[in-house]
Structure 1
Amino acid sequence: MQSDVSDLETFLSDRTIDGYLIDADSETSNQRYLSGFDAPDPFVTLYADGVQLLVSSLEYGRAKRESNAETVSRYSDFDYRKKREKYDSTEANNRVVAAFLEKHGVQSVAVPARFPLSTADGLRDLDIDVTADTNDTITKLRATKTDEEIKNIRTAQRANEAAMSRAETLIREATVEAGTLHYDGEPLTSERVRREIEMELLRNDHALDETIVACGSDAADPHDRGSGPLKADESIIIDIFPRGKDSKYFADMTRTFVKGSPSETIREWYELTLAAQTAALDAIEPGVTGADVHDAVCDVYEDAGEPTLRSDERTKTGFIHSTGHGIGLDVHERPRIATNGETLEPGHVITIEPGLYDPAVGGVRIEDFGVVTEDGFENLVDYPKELIIE
């Protein structure tokens, strides 16, 4: 996958810096994005006249086949073994990286703000100028998705919908005994639903480390994972954010369900949250800001008398988070759909997830996501929004 790196070239040119350097494994999304390579151990990516990689001998063949690199070098190409006889492993590594940079005519590099301190100090000791990139240049590049990236995100969302359907089926088929949901003769717990979600995702070549299945007062905390038996007549928030095992791209969707009869407040909150989400979705087009979209949600809630962080930054109930975020190689990335959110552009993939929360009542959240297009917005979610499960 080749991405537009013209803004990176401009960043380097404007600052008369020779190259951009990343020293990390591919779980660091900027490394994965720039290198196009997936490896569990740290490796070095240099952007200077294209992508240049420095990897271990173990990863050399695969890096040549799979990465975005113009060239791939090994530590052994720069006499690592001889350097190791003279220096400790840290200094030997730094001297190899310095030699790698010299090979590519690089005497100055920009690095991410979070970069190994020992590498930065070691390169400076070897007369390489190292400048921290506090502008998050690569992160900003990642905000605008290519067609291939959007395809990967669509695929993740189809897996997400299968997992949500499995969770909803469990709740639908559960019986109610003394106010608690039961399935297969046992209480249906948040843990059981999460396990079924994870298994369904694995069947579709996706996975996740965590998901949210939160009921009642647990659902009043937006990031409470939930625990214990699920209750009838109380809201159950299910928030699933799977990642492709091969692509590494995320999807993100939330639905709120009630098995039985919700309280009047939960009914009102659900309809209000649907209205707030619709207002946000209708507001999205190139040129508006994430702050504009966030304001559309706050307007709906505040007009109905519900507190928001915009109206009261100290509120502990009501709408107590931002409207959304970008999604891609990270489940939370740019652009922000929040106060001070940046201008939206075609290719941005963003979530819209308004919600209302109060421990005395429970919580409601509804989340879709999609891509900003040349003339509006395409919702990538194809899953119904229904509160009550019979």
Structure 2
Amino acid sequence: MHKKIASVRDVLLKKDLDAILIGKPENRRYISSFTGTTGFVIITKDEAIFITDFRYMQQAQKECKLFKIIETSRYEPLTNILNELNIGRLGVEEEFFTYGHALDLQEKLKNLSLVALEGALTKIRSIKSKEEIEYITTAASIADKAFAYILDFLKPGAIEEDIALELEFFMRKQGASGVSFNFIVASGERSSLPHGTASNKIIEAGDFVTLDFGCIYEGYCSDMTRTMVVGEASTKQKEIYSIVLQAQKTALDAVKPGITGKDLDSIARSIIEEAGYGDNFGHGLGHGVGLEVHELPHVNIIGDIPMEPGMVITIEPGIYIPGFGGVRIEDLVVVTENGYKVLSKTSKELIEIKI
């Protein structure tokens, strides 16, 4: 925790700020360890303050060990606190701090100058500690167990929404506190939808079935995707699957410190393009994962941040053919000093579910 506060103070010094105001839940939890839903953090050169209302005072006193806890309500007392601290230049999370918040603060604090942090806190969070990686590893392990469990449910007559519910129930029974996102359960022609969340469609023999899911453990997310065939795969299904698997494995083997997300994206994309399916791979190769299921570093054409040990990313190429179906294969990966470690342990070889 000392290191986390120190890292925020480094941002404060670099941007010549008097204080940084943190309200985004993931950033707030990362800095303070607070797991509740209401609160603000103020970091100055000399103080670390946590502000919340009556409902969370006991929780904050227990969780936010290194912080001065102040009870307040809504925004009026927040302006009072900032005024008492004599804050001139205040760093704010532009992706979270609303226009209304800004107007309110500047109306009440005429000498206050708001400065965008430009994602600095998210950048700090992109490199995970050993403890954070352990939490993500556990979340990935729960997802692996859930995949093995759900295979028996994937058969003709099953409904996509039922599969999603069964996955969530199983993972919660295994210790997950929630789901990372709305699960993608897309079968048949719907598997050509990259974000085909579970519907009332009935799974049929011969369908591709894409499962993209993950869970939350101690606040940290997992994310994995596997695509199966219900019954015997056709020649074209095998072809598409083989291309995606080759792209996924080739990009995965290139993961190491120093390589950028756009370089990894290019490696996978070139394989799919050479096979003639470039127009059918319309999303980025992956993304960072942590307290949010989508966070830095970018693993796509705008990913210009070099990979560093401790970053956790996904590698998930896909091919999506309208009217036919699609394939995506996704692993959760931690960048190591010498390369990478795959956290998703489920096999990536094509599964043809016997019916």
TM-score, scaled relative to structure 2:
0.91
Distance 1:102 1:338, change over 3 A: same
Confirm whether residue 351 of structure 1 aligns to residue 314 of structure 2.
yes
1:63 lines up with 2:27 in the alignment: no
Q: Which runs of 5+ in 1 are unaligned?
A: 81-89, 175-180, 182-186, 308-314
CA distance in 2, matches of 1:29, 1:146: 15
Structure 2 vs 1, CA of residues 153 and 248 (structure 1 numbering), >3 Å: closer, same or farther?
Answer: same
Mapped contact 1:123–1:130 kept (Cα < 8 A): no
SS class of match (2:164): helix
Structure-2 change in CA distance of 1:58 and 1:2 (3 Å): same
Shift of residue 300 of structure 1?
1.2
Give the residue type in structure 1 aligned to 2:42: L
- Structure 1 residues 3 and 354, CA, compared in 2 at 3 Å: closer, same or farther? farther
Tell whether 2:213 aligns with 1:240.
yes
- 1:39-188 residue pairs with structure 2 within 5 A? 39-40=36-37, 42-48=38-44, 49=46, 51-67=48-64, 69-75=66-72, 93-94=75-76, 96-104=77-85, 106-113=87-94, 114-124=96-106, 125-133=108-116, 135-171=118-154, 174=155, 181=156, 187-188=157-158
* C-alpha distance after superposition, 1:8-61 (max 9, x if no partner): 33332133211100245xxx3222222220112x32210123531111133222
The CA deviation string for residues 228-253 of structure 1, in whole angstroms up to 9 with x for no partner, is 11011121001112122xx1110000
On the 8 A contact 2:83/2:109 being kept in 1, the answer is: no
Give, in whole Å, the separation in 2 of the partners of 1:6 and 1:305.
50
Residues 3 and 46 of structure 1, relative CA distance in 2, 3 Å threshold: same
1:193 deviation in Å?
1.0
Q: Secondary structure at the match of 1:11?
A: helix
| Alignment correspondent of 1:192 | 162
1:262 aligns with 2:243: no
Query: What SS does the aligned partner of 2:219 have?
Result: coil
CA distance in 2 between partners of 1:224 and 1:210 (Å): 10
CA distance in 1, matches of 2:145, 2:265: 29
Equivalents in 1 of 2:275, 2:98: separation in Å?
49
1:61-90 per-residue CA deviation (whole Å, 9 max, x = no partner) reads 221111254211112xxxx7xxxxxxxxx7
Structure 1 CA distance for aligned equivalents of residues 113 and 23 of structure 2: 13
- Partner Cα distance (1:258, 1:296) in 2: 26
| Paired amino acid for 2:329 | I
Q: Distance in 1 between matches of 2:134 and 2:273?
A: 37
Retained in 1: the 8 A contact 2:227–2:328? yes
Equivalent AA in structure 2 for residue 62 of structure 1:
Q
CA shift, 1:112, in A, is 0.8
**Equivalent residue of 1:293, what SS?**
helix
How far, CA to CA, are the matches of 2:40 and 2:117 in structure 1? 20
How much has 1:106 moved relative to structure 2? 3.3
Paired residue secondary structure (1:62): helix
Is 1:362 aligned to 2:325, yes or no? yes
Given that 1:352 and 1:369 are in contact with CA atoms closer than 8 Å, whether structure 2 keeps it comes out as yes
Q: Please, which of 334, 343, 348 is the counterpart of residue 385 of structure 1? A: 348
Aligned to 1:285: 256
Q: Tell me how far apart the structure 2 counterparts of residues 251 and 236 of structure 1 sit (CA, whole Å).
A: 20
Instruction: Tell me if the contact between 1:238 and 1:254 (Cα under 8 Å) persists in the aligned partners.
Output: yes
* Aligned partner letter, 1:192: D
> 2:203 maps to which residue?
230
User: 1:204 matched to which residue of 2?
Assistant: 174
Q: Distance in 2 between matches of 1:143 and 1:51?
A: 22
What corresponds to 2:31 in structure 1? 34
Q: Which amino acid aligns with 1:327?
A: V
Q: Tell me if structure 2 keeps the 8 A contact 1:2–1:68.
A: no
Q: CA deviation at 1:6?
A: 4.9
Larger Rg: 1
2:266 to 291, 295, 313: 295
Query: How far apart in 2 are the matches of 1:130 and 1:232?
Result: 62
Q: Deviations over 1:254-303 (max 9, x none)?
A: 00111212221110111111111111111111111001111110121122
The answer as to whether partners of 1:34 and 1:51 remain within 8 angstroms in 2 is no
Of the structure 1 ranges 323-332 and 219-228, higher mean CA displacement relative to structure 2 is found in 219-228
> In the alignment, residue 135 of structure 1 is paired with which amino acid?
E
**CA deviation string 1:69-119 (max 9, x = no partner):** 4211112xxxx7xxxxxxxxx7xx33x223323454533311111314444
| 4+ residue segments displaced more than 4 Å | 102-105
Q: For 1:383 and 1:128, how far apart are their aligned partners in 2? A: 56
1:214 alignment counterpart: 186
Give TM-score, length-normalised by structure 1.
Answer: 0.83
Report SS of the residue matched to 1:135.
coil
Q: Across the two proteins, how many residue pairs are aligned to each other? A: 346
Q: Please state how far the C-alpha of 1:304 moved relative to its aligned partner.
A: 1.9
Superposed CA deviations along residues 336-379 of structure 1, whole A, max 9, x for unmatched, are 11112121111110000011010232101110011111111111
1:336 and 1:371 map into 2 onto residues whose CA distance is 14
Alpha-carbon offset, residue 305 of structure 1: 2.2
Between the aligned partners of 2:255 and 2:187, the Cα distance in structure 1 is 31
CA distance in 2, matches of 1:305, 1:323: 17
